[in-house]
Amino acid sequence: MDEGQIAAAGTATAGDAVTPPVFVARDLAKTYGSGKAAVHALRDVNLEIHAGEFVVLLGPSGSGKSTLLNILGGLDAPTSGTACWRDHQLTGASESELTAYRREHVGFVFQFYNLIPSLTVRENVQLVAEIADNPMDIAQAIELVGLTPQIDRFPSQLSGGEQQRVAVARAIVKRPDILLCDEPTGALDFDTGRIVLAAIQRVNAELGTTTIVITHNSAIADMAHRVLRLRGGRIASEERNSKRLDAMEISW
Amino acid sequence: MSMLDRKLLRDLWKLRTQALAIILLIASGVAMFEMALSNYLTLRSMQVRHYEREAFADIFADLKRAPASLAAHISGIDGVAAAEARIVQPVRIMREDGDASVSGRIVSLPPTGQPELNRLRLTRGRWIEAGKRNEAIVNAAFADARHVRTGDTIDVILNGRLEKFTIAGIALSPEFVFATRSGLPLPDDHAYAILWAERSSVAAAFNMEGAFNNLTVRLAPGASEAAVISGIDRKLEAYGGTGAIGRRDHPSHRFVEDELAEQRTMSVVMPLIFLGIASFLLNVVIGRLVTAQREQIASLKALGYPNAPILLHYLKLTAALVLAGTVAGGLAGAWLAAQMIEMYRPFFRFPDWAFEFRLWLPLASGAMAFAAAMIGVVLSVADVVRLPAAVALRPSTPGTASTTAFKSLRHLGLAGPRSMMIVRTIVGRPARTLMTICGLMLAVPLATMGLFWWDSLGYMIDFNFERVERSDAQVTLIHALPSRAVREVSRMPGVFTAEGSRLIPVRLVNGHRSYRTVLQGVSEGSELRVPRESDLQPVAIPPEGVVLSRRLAAKLWLSKGDMLTVEVQEGGRPLRQIAVAGLADDILGLSAYIARPALNRLMREGDLVNSIALRIDPREAAGVWSRLQQTAKVEAVAIRSSLLRSFDEKISGLINVSAFILTGFGILIAFGVVYNAARVAYQERAWELATLRILGFTRRETLTVLFGELAIVVAIAVPLGLVLAHWLIALILRLRDNESFQLPAIISPATFALSALVIIAASVTSAILVRRLVEKLDLVAVLKTRD
């Protein structure tokens, strides 16, 4: 039994209640290139993630964490293996099925915010609310990340941390089932980074959104229910935090 | 190789599609400029060479009859280098097909063979054998039009007597590059022939032994044309001289100059506008290409590179693109020019037809393209290097200036964020939007400028041949006859209407300005010759005074009510002051009208006519022509259908050739422009578009953002472009300098629609091409990069 299967075998808790797995990945592998030039970004990854869980994927750059997140987010396809979300097969799904999956279920937060510069805070959030079936109130989503005073500002009038909180509001406004955060504090300083993490943590706690955060910053791991460490494309270890820290308590 | 040069090569490879589009843009501009200008210059140099080699005379004079000895006196006039006396007489050529419309001139050749002036250039056959009286050489235009071959025999009526001539050779002459009968605005090669025969045979037929009735003169270097002309006129006065003319008034030369002027418009002005537009677009495209590398430039600066090598790097990139475009365009232009010049062959009867390559043409147009591109590069690089490296390193999302623009739109209650994205991108980056609109707007006239010529020609034909000259044929009489001749003709079977008019060659003079034309004495209530205003309202010809074409009046600096001097160039050559009683618009030629009784009074003659306009029953046309052919008093019959064919061949044909090429290039460049605009719009927004895709927007929804912007810009640019096209065409037509015909700035709704359609089609095609890029967007890469 390899490390991936160890991870997969674990049952997880969100809060302290046992919930069924929402993500199941089996023998995931991703190879870029071929022959001698082949780069194995992921090998034999097996994992289960449960509803409401806050999972941190930790690893140095090149460990395969982004590749894994991209596959789970429906942005990339594995070379072999399967990944499914509830009853959605993510592997082998068509482009339009993946688009529908992202649209209906996934909220993204990116390292560089990826806000639309020509739209205000409200409009950036509204942009996603428009294509969601059951979005939350826009003002409420913005309130959740503490940006109500800046609601009519443009991204260029906001600090990096504020922009990232807009990204969080944008991600959660459609009440996603999963929140995928790719290095959300990567471009931010310590103080701003913590505020953003607090927003993400609050979404996880208050809305029960399954949250996966990838980072190379091990301090963030203390916030998670579960921490998966990746190295060389494999899940090297899995830890469960018996005591989770509040975002404002962590430091790096 | 320096690392920057290596980057240059790799950048070129990476940008190969866009680079190819830019190279094509440059190549199209260069090729078109080279082709058009090269053709014009080649035609010009062929004209000059033909005039020189075949010794085209400087002064021409007709007279009634003078003894051969007078020629020696004329040679003695100060400023005359050479004078040659000839016999030139009207003839009619009988065709077996019964076509009455072939008339012509017979020109005597000296017994020694080649004349000293206006030499012939044999293209086929041989020279006339000495002593063979019934051999003739015929002009190549007529030979081609009527399929006359050497060895053929033709029936010629000289002075009322039928004689058979054998065609010994076919020749070109600088005097008859376009062979035009006086009084007709156009040469008609089907209906007009030039024959050259030995002097003795012409003299015998016209009782001109020992005499001449036509004189050609070459000026000594530096001699005054006016002084020599008046010297000649004095000498010829006693012999029925009708006034010597310089080359300026020579019908063939005038027509050659007009056609070349037309080519100058088509070949210099239009390609310059095209090249100008292409250069402007190149400037924009290259500028954006550099701006897209903003962060790379900032990185180089941050690494300590001074500005000069960075600028040089981008100039090298530009130079590589311009060089490739110039070489490709230069080669394509030379090839096209060599093909195209052949298409002019039927129009310009020049010998030594050959394409001449001119290296300076692609070099000059390439240099212009490089200069335009360089400005784009320098401005864009300067924009980036002016910023502190740290600022430049940050993505160039809209800055504070554009945020202000966004703010003003904040409360605009539009449909939603995606509409706001479209509108704010358009309004929030006004400079960029303006450039895109300008580019698309400039593409519209490229299509219109090629297409409108057909509208203009169609209008011309309708105006001239349906509204003003409404007869089916014009019969020219050898001598003026009493007007009852008209009634005789009108009684011929098959003739519906006959109207007589009196046509007199005149020189119209106002101060030092003058113009030689034919004064048309129009019968009262004429229905077959109706001068009109440009709005088609007929202009009544009053009992006294002349009605001038508006262009002629402008040329002579005359307006309604002014007095004008009319110098009759016939008979007793009376000189009269006549008032300008009205102005009319004409398109073909520069006309002057007068009431026929007034003209008869001016000539101190009775009720005479020398031209009869006919409306005939088309079913009996052949019978009418054949009966007219039997009439000895008829010099020539100009049939409208034949004139229209000649118009088609001489004017429409030539314009069509150029217009076809202009349209082709115009559409090609327009497509290039629109594609580049769409491509750049995509490039600048690829990051946003990918973000939308990641957020769960479908391809279609994502594309609406990109194409919504393009659609709005196209919707703004196309109407502006149509207005611009109208202005540019009016400007081009004003720059034309052509006496033979006036092209009106008529652009039909269909042409406007087609031009708009070209741009819209180009936009749709570009959109389809760009859609593929959106479909291939690398969503993952976007997560790892900033802007």
Q: Are residues B162 and B290 in the same domain?
A: no
- As a whole number of angstroms, the distance between CA A85 and CA A105 comes to 10
Q: Is the dihedral of CA B66, B69, B73, B74 positive or negative?
A: positive
Q: Which of B621, B641, B661 is the last residue of a domain?
A: B641
Q: Are residues B53 and B104 in the same domain?
A: no
- As a whole number of angstroms, the distance between CA A157 and CA A115 comes to 12
- pLDDT value at residue B564: 94
Q: Shortest CA distance to B174 belongs to which of B115, B119, B251, B113?
A: B119
Residue B698: C-alpha distances to residues A230, B145, B422, B774 (Å): 32, 66, 17, 11
DSSP three-state, residue B132: coil
Residue A109 has pLDDT above 50, yes or no: yes
- As a whole number of angstroms, the distance between CA A215 and CA B640 comes to 89
Residue A205 has pLDDT above 80, yes or no: yes
Count of A–B CB contacts within 8 Å?
97
* Residue B178 in domain: yes
Q: What is the mean pLDDT of residues B397-416?
A: 52
Contact B693 A108 (CB under 8 A): no
- pLDDT value at residue B100: 58
**Helix (H), strand (E) at residue A245:** none
- As a whole number of angstroms, the distance between CA A197 and CA A221 comes to 11
Q: Shortest CA distance to B667 belongs to which of B434, B376, B418, B448?
A: B448
Q: Pick the range with the lowest mean pLDDT from A158-172, B201-215, B428-442, B501-515.
A: B428-442
Residue of A nearest to B414 (CA): A123
Domain boundaries, position A104: 3-249
The pair of three-digit structure tokens given for residue A249, joined into one six-digit string: 């308590």
Q: Are residues B29 and B104 in the same domain?
A: no
Q: Shortest CA distance to B372 belongs to which of B431, B324, B310, B319?
A: B319
The pair of three-digit structure tokens given for residue B286, joined into one six-digit string: 């290259």
| Nearest CB to B403 within list A70, A108, A157 | A157
- As a whole number of angstroms, the distance between CA A230 and CA A46 comes to 12
The pair of three-digit structure tokens given for residue B781, joined into one six-digit string: 């890469």
Q: What is the mean pLDDT of residues B412-417?
A: 62
- As a whole number of angstroms, the distance between CA B189 and CA B205 comes to 25
The residue ranking higher by pLDDT, B684 or B576, is B576
**In the Cβ-directed half-sphere of A52, how many Cα atoms lie within 13 Å?**
14
Which residue type, as a one-letter code, is found at position B39? N
DSSP-assigned letter for residue B469: B
- As a whole number of angstroms, the distance between CA B505 and CA A77 comes to 90
Q: Pick the range with the lowest mean pLDDT from B82-86, B169-173, B256-260.
A: B256-260
Residue A32 has pLDDT above 50, yes or no: yes
- As a whole number of angstroms, the distance between CA B238 and CA B64 comes to 9
Q: Are residues B109 and B14 in the same domain?
A: no
Q: Are residues B611 and B510 in the same domain?
A: yes
| Nearest CB to A127 within list B403, B417, B698 | B417
pLDDT digits (tens, 9 = 90+) for B136-161: 999 999 999 888 999 999 999 888 88
Q: Shortest CA distance to A215 belongs to which of A182, A249, A178, A168?
A: A182
Contact B784 A111 (CB under 8 A): yes
The residue ranking higher by pLDDT, B123 or B392, is B123
Contact A156 B398 (CB under 8 A): yes
- As a whole number of angstroms, the distance between CA B642 and CA B364 comes to 44
Residue B739: band (very low, low, confident or very high) from pLDDT cuts 50, 70, 90: low
- pLDDT value at residue A15: 47
Residue B787 has pLDDT above 50, yes or no: no
Residue B574 has pLDDT above 90, yes or no: no
List the Cα angle B265/B268/B270 in 5-degree steps: 70
pLDDT digits (tens, 9 = 90+) for B297-319: 777 777 777 888 888 888 888 88
Determine contact: B697 vs chain A, CB below 8 A. Answer: yes
Q: Pick the range with the lowest mean pLDDT from B38-47, B113-122, B666-675.
A: B666-675
Q: For the domain that residue A241 is a member of, what is the CATH number?
A: 3.40.50.300
- As a whole number of angstroms, the distance between CA B211 and CA B208 comes to 5
Residue to mutate among A88, A101, A116, A216, with most B CBs inside 10 A, is A116
| Nearest CB to B688 within list A73, A116, A156 | A116
Angle at which helix B270-291 crosses helix B699-735, to 10 degrees, equals 150
- As a whole number of angstroms, the distance between CA B182 and CA B245 comes to 13
The pair of three-digit structure tokens given for residue A188, joined into one six-digit string: 């931010």
Which residue type, as a one-letter code, is found at position B202? V
User: B424 contacts in A (CB within 8 Å)?
Assistant: 118-119
- As a whole number of angstroms, the distance between CA B417 and CA B695 comes to 14
Contact A103 B697 (CB under 8 A): yes
Q: Are residues B326 and B177 in the same domain?
A: no
Q: Are residues B473 and B514 in the same domain?
A: yes
Q: Are residues B611 and B479 in the same domain?
A: yes
Which residues are bridge partners to A14 per DSSP?
Answer: A17
Q: Which of B609, B641, B673 is the last residue of a domain?
A: B641
Residue to mutate among A42, A75, A118, with most B CBs inside 10 A, is A118
Average confidence score pLDDT of chain A: 85
List the Cα angle B51/B53/B56 in 5-degree steps: 35
Residue A3: band (very low, low, confident or very high) from pLDDT cuts 50, 70, 90: very low
Q: Which of B361, B376, B396 is the last residue of a domain?
A: B396
Residue A10: band (very low, low, confident or very high) from pLDDT cuts 50, 70, 90: very low
Burial category of B511 from C-beta neighbours within 10 Å (exposed 0-12, middle 13-18, buried 19 and up): exposed
Determine contact: B399 vs chain A, CB below 8 A. Answer: yes
Q: Are A109 and A168 in contact (CB under 8 A)?
A: yes
Residue B402: band (very low, low, confident or very high) from pLDDT cuts 50, 70, 90: very low
* Residue B417 in domain: no
- pLDDT value at residue B580: 94
The pair of three-digit structure tokens given for residue B573, joined into one six-digit string: 């050559």
pTM of the full predicted structure? 0.73
Highest mean pLDDT among B85-89, B437-441, B680-684: B85-89
* Residue B589 in domain: yes
Domain boundaries, position B295: 1-59+255-396
Proportion of chain B above pLDDT 90, given as a percent: 30
Residue A163 has pLDDT above 70, yes or no: yes
Who's near B183: CB < 8 A, 6+ residues apart?
Answer: B476, B503, B505, B518, B611
- pLDDT value at residue B47: 93
pLDDT digits (tens, 9 = 90+) for B744-774: 888 899 999 988 888 888 888 888 888 888 8
pLDDT digits (tens, 9 = 90+) for B233-252: 999 988 988 889 999 889 88
Residue B48: band (very low, low, confident or very high) from pLDDT cuts 50, 70, 90: very high
* Residue B109 in domain: yes
DSSP-assigned letter for residue B180: -
Determine contact: B698 vs chain A, CB below 8 A. Answer: yes
User: A96 contacts in B (CB within 8 Å)?
Assistant: 698
* Domain count within chain A: 1
Which residue type, as a one-letter code, is found at position B371? A
Highest mean pLDDT among A64-68, A224-228, B370-374, B514-518: A224-228
Residue B407 has pLDDT above 60, yes or no: no
Residue B732: C-alpha distances to residues B39, B322, B450, B707 (Å): 19, 28, 12, 35
CA B566 to chain centre: 32
The pair of three-digit structure tokens given for residue A247, joined into one six-digit string: 């975002």
Highest mean pLDDT among B272-286, B299-313, B362-376: B362-376
Torsion of CA B688, B689, B695, B700, to 10 degrees: 150
Residue B414: band (very low, low, confident or very high) from pLDDT cuts 50, 70, 90: low
Contacts 24+ apart (CB under 8 A), A87-95: A95/B699
- Strands B592-595 and B59-67, by their bridges, are unpaired
Q: What is the mean pLDDT of residues B731-745?
A: 75
Residue B410: band (very low, low, confident or very high) from pLDDT cuts 50, 70, 90: low
- As a whole number of angstroms, the distance between CA B138 and CA B685 comes to 70
- pLDDT value at residue B389: 65
User: B709 contacts in A (CB within 8 Å)?
Assistant: none
Which residues are bridge partners to B155 per DSSP?
Answer: B94, B164
DSSP three-state, residue B414: coil
Residue of B nearest to A74 (CA): B694
Distance in Å, alpha carbon of A248 to nearest chain B alpha carbon: 26
DSSP-assigned letter for residue B69: T
- As a whole number of angstroms, the distance between CA A189 and CA B621 comes to 98
Residue A8 has pLDDT above 70, yes or no: no
Determine contact: B410 vs chain A, CB below 8 A. Answer: yes
Q: Are residues B180 and B308 in the same domain?
A: no
Residue B724: C-alpha distances to residues A5, B151, B675, B700, B717 (Å): 71, 57, 21, 34, 10
- pLDDT value at residue A4: 40
* Residue B355 in domain: yes
* Domain count within chain B: 3
- pLDDT value at residue A188: 79
Residue B408: band (very low, low, confident or very high) from pLDDT cuts 50, 70, 90: low
Residue of A nearest to B402 (CA): A118
* Residue B603 in domain: yes
- Strands B88-94 and B103-109, by their bridges, are antiparallel
- Strands B513-522 and B495-510, by their bridges, are antiparallel
